[in-house]
């Protein structure tokens, strides 16, 4: 009887396409927005994620997330280094800096000051140039997307100059640093040079990056640092989530994306529900005939569920495919959406939502079929 159910479904092409469109539309909306939301939240912590060598971040006790920088005294670095369980610790500077090209283009950059000696904190993804050239005078590294933002359409080239807060800077390396939440250009420079670019008060140390000694857990070492220094120390994973949690709790981003996702679900239920209801209503006599001919309620419900499942699978496949195309093509570097992706668990979650949409949409129709009097065929 499954074939009969499918032939009934495919036979009404307009409604079948309407149903598939409804599910595909809802899936596309939910998946795309879900992926964008996850990407955006991941982007808030991209600076933390890009520092792979360190597994502990030490900061001012009042810091709430990566972008609330309150400078510490440089002497804090030595105190952190003195805590048992710390393998090494290096300074890290983070600030926003105005950038100007020689031909007058201006923008804003995220300036990251990395350890002078070890260059810990520099993106590991080097597209062009050599990290060690950062030791040269005025040398900086810029991310590829930032480079193309300053010089659109031009080939990547080392040795180009720009002004960083009215200071000369020479590009010696181009990185593939992850896109940041607050800036479109990411510049890495040795720590001492970075603080020279943006002269501030006496305290300049934004963060201390540290690594737990072998055999020690970052969380326990972080706790020891806090106890010994009074500073806030978190494992990279904890700091990442603290940052994401801040944006989740203190901004309207989740509500905005959540509303679109809810709308996608509601519109999906409405389109699929109404169309499926029309489909069932127009086929009510056929269902009645099948019931009269001895098809049990259970098998009839099975047929309707099969029809709904096929619609759900087709629509989900198309919607997911379109969303995958979006994330494949629209997020290519150096575009504004670079780095956004579609995690498997977002797709899996959307599969669950799609199933919910189809089930809710079919609920009224199923009831209609269940209470259908087979004697309708005699009227």
Partner 1 sequence: MAVAVDCRDVVKTFGTGDAAVKALRGVTLRAEAGEMTLLVGPSGCGKTTLITAIAGMLTPDSGAVSVFGTDIRTLSRGRLTAFRARSVGFVFQQFNLLPALTATENASIPLRVIGLPAREANRRAAALLDRLGLAAHRNRFPAELSGGQQQRVAIARALVHEPRLVVCDEPTASLDAASGRAAMELLRELAVRGDRAVIVVTHDDRIFSFADRIAHMADGRIEDIATQEAQAA
Q: Phi first, then psi: what are they for 209, rounded to 5°?
A: -95, 130
7 binds partner 1 (CB under 8 A): yes
Detail the DSSP E strand segments found in 149-244: 161-164, 167-175, 185-190, 207-212, 232-235
For residue 10, the minimal CB distance to partner 1 (Å) is 7
For residue 9, the minimal CB distance to partner 1 (Å) is 8
Q: How far is CA 297 from its chain centroid?
A: 46
Inter-axis angle of helices 344-370 and 13-44, nearest 10: 150
For residue 330, the minimal CB distance to partner 1 (Å) is 39
For residue 292, the minimal CB distance to partner 1 (Å) is 6
Question: Do the strands 167-175 and 139-143 form a parallel or antiparallel pair, or are they unpaired?
Answer: parallel
Choices 41-49, 190-198, 289-297, 347-355 (CB under 8 A): range interacting with partner 1 = 289-297
The correct pick among 285, 324, 347, 351 for binding partner 1 (CB under 8 A) is: 285
| Residues 236-275 as x/- pattern, contact with partner 1 by CB under 8 A | ----------------------------------------
Secondary structure element (H or E) that encloses residue 112, with its range: strand 106-114
* Structure token pair of residue 223: 């706790």
What gap in Å lies between CA 26 and CA 190, rounded to an integer? 48
286 binds partner 1 (CB under 8 A): yes
373 binds partner 1 (CB under 8 A): yes
The correct pick among 159, 293, 344, 371 for binding partner 1 (CB under 8 A) is: 293
What gap in Å lies between CA 257 and CA 260, rounded to an integer? 5
59 binds partner 1 (CB under 8 A): no
Determine contact, residues 109/187, Cβ cutoff 8 Å. Answer: yes
Determine contact, residues 102/84, Cβ cutoff 8 Å. Answer: no
Nearer to partner 1 among residue 290 and residue 366 (C-beta): 290
The correct pick among 118, 296, 328, 332 for binding partner 1 (CB under 8 A) is: 296
For residue 283, the minimal CB distance to partner 1 (Å) is 8
Nearer to partner 1 among residue 18 and residue 91 (C-beta): 18
Choices 47-55, 191-199, 281-289, 346-354 (CB under 8 A): range interacting with partner 1 = 281-289
Q: How many residues bind partner 1 (CB under 8 A)?
A: 25
Choices 29-37, 109-117, 142-150, 280-288 (CB under 8 A): range interacting with partner 1 = 280-288
152-172 in b/e form (b: 16+ CB < 10 A) is eeeeeeeebebbbbebebebb
Secondary structure element (H or E) that encloses residue 93, with its range: strand 86-101
Q: Residue 334, preceding bond cis, omega within 30 degrees?
A: yes
278 binds partner 1 (CB under 8 A): no
Choices 36-44, 195-203, 290-298, 316-324 (CB under 8 A): range interacting with partner 1 = 290-298
302 binds partner 1 (CB under 8 A): no
Nearer to partner 1 among residue 255 and residue 293 (C-beta): 293
What gap in Å lies between CA 291 and CA 27, rounded to an integer? 34
Determine contact, residues 187/21, Cβ cutoff 8 Å. Answer: no
**Which residues make up the interface to partner 1 (CB under 8 A)?**
1, 3-4, 7-8, 10-12, 285-286, 288-290, 292-297, 373-375, 377-379
């Amino acid at each position: 009887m499954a074939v009969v159910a499918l032939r009934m479904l495919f036979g009404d092409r307009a409604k079948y396409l309407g149903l598939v469109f409804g599910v595909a539309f809802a899936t596309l909306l939910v998946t795309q927005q879900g992926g964008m939301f996850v990407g955006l939240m991941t982007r808030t912590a991209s600076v933390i994620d890009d520092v792979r060598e360190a597994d502990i971040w030490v900061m001012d006790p009042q810091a709430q997330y990566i972008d609330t920088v309150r400078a510490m005294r440089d002497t804090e670095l030595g105190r952190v280094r003195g805590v048992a369980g710390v393998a090494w610790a290096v300074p890290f500077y983070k600030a926003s800096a105005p950038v100007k090209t020689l031909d007058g283009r201006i923008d804003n950059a995220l300036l990251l000051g990395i350890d002078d000696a070890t260059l810990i904190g520099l993106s590991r993804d080097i597209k062009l140039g050599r990290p060690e050239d950062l030791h040269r005078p005025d040398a900086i590294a810029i991310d590829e997307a930032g480079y193309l933002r300053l010089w659109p359409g031009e080939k990547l080239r080392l040795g180009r100059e720009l002004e960083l807060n009215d200071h000369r800077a020479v590009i010696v390396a181009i990185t593939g640093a992850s896109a940041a939440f607050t800036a479109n250009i990411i510049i890495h420079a040795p720590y001492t040079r970075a603080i020279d670019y943006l002269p501030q008060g006496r305290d300049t140390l934004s963060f201390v990056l540290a690594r737990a000694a072998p055999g020690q857990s970052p969380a326990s070492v972080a706790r020891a640092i806090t106890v010994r220094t009074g500073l806030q120390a978190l494992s990279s994973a904890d700091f990442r989530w603290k940052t994401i949690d801040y944006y989740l709790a203190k901004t309207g981003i989740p509500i905005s994306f959540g509303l679109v996702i809810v709308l996608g679900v509601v519109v999906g239920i409405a389109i699929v529900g109404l169309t499926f209801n029309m489909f069932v209503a127009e086929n009510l006599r056929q269902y009645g005939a099948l019931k009269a001919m001895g098809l049990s309620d259970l098998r009839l419900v099975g047929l309707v569920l099969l029809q709904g499942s096929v619609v759900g699978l087709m629509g989900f496949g198309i919607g997911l495919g379109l969303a995958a195309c979006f994330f494949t093509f629209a997020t290519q570097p150096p575009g504004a959406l670079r780095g956004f992706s579609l995690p498997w668990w977002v797709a899996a979650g959307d599969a669950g939502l799609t199933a919910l949409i189809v089930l809710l949409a079919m609920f009224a129709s199923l009831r209609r079929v269940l209470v259908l009097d087979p004697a309708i065929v005699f009227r």
